[in-house]
Structure 1
Amino acid sequence: MHSTRISADHHAVTVTSNSGFVTDWTLRYFGPWWHATSATAADQAERTVRADIDPEATELLTRSIVHLPHEETEYARTPMVHTRTPEGAVRAAQPDQQLAYEAWPAGTVRIVGADEVAVALAAARLARESVRGQLLADGWAILHASAVTRDTGAVLLTLGNKGAGKTTVALTLARQGMGLLANDRVFVRGSVDGTVNVLPWPSAAAVGLGLLDALGLYDEVRTRFMGGDRLHPTQDQRVTDALLAGNRTPQWENGRELKLQLFPDQLSTMLKLTLTTRGAAERFLFPHITPGSEPELLDEERPLREEDFFTAASEDRYPDIFGLLPDNGAAGVRTAFGMLTGLPRTTFRLSHDAAANTDFLKTLTAEE
């Protein structure tokens, strides 16, 4: 049996599997941002995710769900059927992925599947949800922001709607020597001294081909990709095809950009960025990207909004089918919201000129 233990701020989950591929995937996925180590029996956390390659068990468990009254939903953009047993356990299946699940109220989840990659993806996803639930129960909240850290540990949080420039700001500043704490979401929690602590949300990093090219990173990524360094399997095939063809043109579908999907560790190995694991919030940055403009400060106030936070109610990709999230998650949002509203904030415009954006952001974030 293979095991990997993941921990963040004293909360932990252990992933076990009959396949070393699954636990190695977990180790790779969480290692750069959360503390992930190969585990012995003595190291295992109280919460566990057991993820095995077992086609026969997958078929049996799936049949036990689909032939009984059940509900249907979408989980990780894939159809899922699920039901609850009289004992309170949740059983679920994603037949298209050949995956089946059982979850018990104590926080133990079992995953069985026929494909190693599908099982590894599911195990990492449920392990993160398990730690997420523990952090939320402990007063942390999730903010939709990218984040970079100074050498002092001070965190610059960048907020905005899709396309506003959160990733542009984070990668530009990280390329200039700041630490990259998060690409899309962060955990935040206030302390008694008024400090707002920040932790990363481990996930595949989505980077558009145009931004990759503008930052001078396209050639390095493509060279490594052509040399056999595989990218995250959630990447759309059209982006993969563009890389294979040497095409730097952004790929779109129904107004949504299809982006490169990098494993967290590839932010270091491919993009040469330094990843950091925690910090204290210093300031909010609110960018807007306007093609053809010059980067400049804007004389407008963008307030922090409750919709800038993620909650179980607003989660659109991973509904809490397995009961891993607490009922009191909104309390952490209210507390964090109150403490974060006092942070300084800066609103500004960026262009599509990477050099101009870099110069502007270096000046904007220079320490006094």
Structure 2
Amino acid sequence: MTQHATRITTAHHAVTVLSQTNTVTDWMIRYFGQWWNAQPTTAPFPGPLVTADVDATTVTTYTQNVSNRPHQETTYANTRMLYGRTSGHVVTAAQPSEHLAYRSEPGHLHIVGHETLPVCLAAARLAREVVLGQLLADGWSILHASAVTDPDGQTVLTLGGKGSGKTTTALLLARAGWRLLANDRVFVRPDSDGIRVLPWPSAAAIGLGLLDALDLYDPVRERTQRGERLHPTQHQRVTDALATDRRKPLWNENGKELKPQLFPHQLSEWLGLSLATEGRAAHLLFPHITPATTPAKTDDSRAPSAEDFFTAATEDRYADVFELLPSEQLIPKRALDLLSHLPHHSITLSHDVKDNTAFLTELLAAP
């Protein structure tokens, strides 16, 4: 049977995804191609491999293997996972409710499932984890920030907690001609010329209200109503809202906002934003949004801190079941020091898009 392959590369680190189903390898291009370099490839396949196929028989075999031996349990991608290790760093795992199973050995991770979509999601998730492990081992760190670049790659990093305005700031600048590098987190690494910045590829979560305020709601609604699909992790209530032209924010029972989830390529193809693949840190912003105000700099002396970085202790997206990450992740003191010496401002933004954009443009143009 024909085997399809996509190679995913960033900063000289790579993983190759192989599948008998071209939907899987096409998904990798769709998911990674706009921020990392994802391209079809042919043998030989140097470096780590992720093989991902639809194969119900193998799912049953792997699941029985892990269930019938001593194993552990964890929550992985929001569902229960069983996993067990054997000699030679071989890991067998299963997510029974998702009908997914895995076998991992050094340099090769095999994913199987009953249906194509869960296999695509699992393959993208773990391909990114493979490259993440390589980047962390190579001295990169994960910074909780949005990022935009100018044509020369000079990058504005916007830092802050959830709801502080990171995505708002990035999208305001992206609409004003900057290139979007990330909307929530980035990789950073010091070098002889400062700090390099790489994107973290993922679905972009943008609230209904923010899309509407930025005049970006209609293209998402129109394409959705024509049958085009956003990322499948999007909650059904959001899909229903787009179908019925609801523009107000949606919240779940725990107070978390439910947002449209756009593939990276949809940011450019649907919203007309330009994306960047790398930058160099040049400016830091620490926003706070106050609806009835005039955008301005504030007296807050906020500066980057260790809390702005993700480490193994603070990053709980996925348990490292397959031993893909370095055993120790420390706060990067040199990166933190270099970031602290960059021009940085605490700012207040309003809900007025025109005023916010004019303020940010003038602020960043100042010498």
Q: Distance in 1 between matches of 2:8 and 2:321?
A: 21
**In the alignment, is residue 282 of structure 1 matched against residue 282 of structure 2?**
yes
Q: Distance in 2 between matches of 1:221 and 1:345?
A: 34
Please name the residue that 2:239 is paired with. 240
For the 8 Å contact 1:294–1:351, the answer to whether it is kept is: yes
For the 8 Å contact 2:287–2:349, the answer to whether it is kept is: yes
Q: Distance in 1 between matches of 2:90 and 2:22?
A: 27
SS of 1:300's equivalent in the other structure is: coil
Aligned pairs for 1:1-368 within 5 A: 1-42=3-44, 44-104=45-105, 106-193=106-193, 195-253=194-252, 254-330=254-330, 333-368=332-367
List runs of 5+ in structure 2 lacking aligned partners: none
1:258-291 deviation line (CA, Å, top 9, x unaligned): 1110000000011100001111100110000112
Q: Distance in 2 between matches of 1:37 and 1:151?
A: 24
For the 8 Å contact 2:234–2:260, the answer to whether it is kept is: yes
1:194-213 deviation line (CA, Å, top 9, x unaligned): x1000111000000000000
For the 8 Å contact 1:139–1:329, the answer to whether it is kept is: no
RMSD of equivalent CA atoms:
1.2
Q: Which amino acid aligns with 1:287?
A: P
Would you identify which runs of 4 or more consecutive aligned residues in structure 1 move more than 3 Å?
none
For the 8 Å contact 1:137–1:328, the answer to whether it is kept is: no
SS of 2:88's equivalent in the other structure is: coil
For the 8 Å contact 2:312–2:328, the answer to whether it is kept is: no
1:74-111 deviation line (CA, Å, top 9, x unaligned): 1112221111113321111111111111111x231110
Q: Distance in 1 between matches of 2:334 and 2:135?
A: 14
For the 8 Å contact 1:188–1:336, the answer to whether it is kept is: yes
1:167-213 deviation line (CA, Å, top 9, x unaligned): 000001000000000111111000124x1000111000000000000
List runs of 5+ in structure 1 lacking aligned partners: none
For the 8 Å contact 2:154–2:282, the answer to whether it is kept is: yes
Q: Which amino acid aligns with 1:5?
A: R
Q: Which amino acid aligns with 1:91?
A: T
Q: Distance in 2 between matches of 1:326 and 1:263?
A: 28
Q: Distance in 2 between matches of 1:318 and 1:335?
A: 27
Q: Displacement, 1:5? A: 0.2
Q: Displacement, 1:367? A: 4.8
SS of 2:152's equivalent in the other structure is: coil
| Of 265-274 and 317-326, the range deviating more from structure 2 | 317-326
Q: TM-score, normalised by structure 1?
A: 0.96
Q: TM-score, normalised by structure 2?
A: 0.96
| Of 80-89 and 227-236, the range deviating more from structure 2 | 80-89
Q: Displacement, 1:305? A: 1.5
Q: Which amino acid aligns with 1:74?
A: T
Q: How many residues align?
A: 364
SS of 1:329's equivalent in the other structure is: coil
For the 8 Å contact 1:312–1:319, the answer to whether it is kept is: no
Q: Distance in 1 between matches of 2:257 and 2:281?
A: 29
Distance 1:324 1:273, change over 3 A: same
For the 8 Å contact 1:312–1:320, the answer to whether it is kept is: no
Q: Displacement, 1:341? A: 1.8
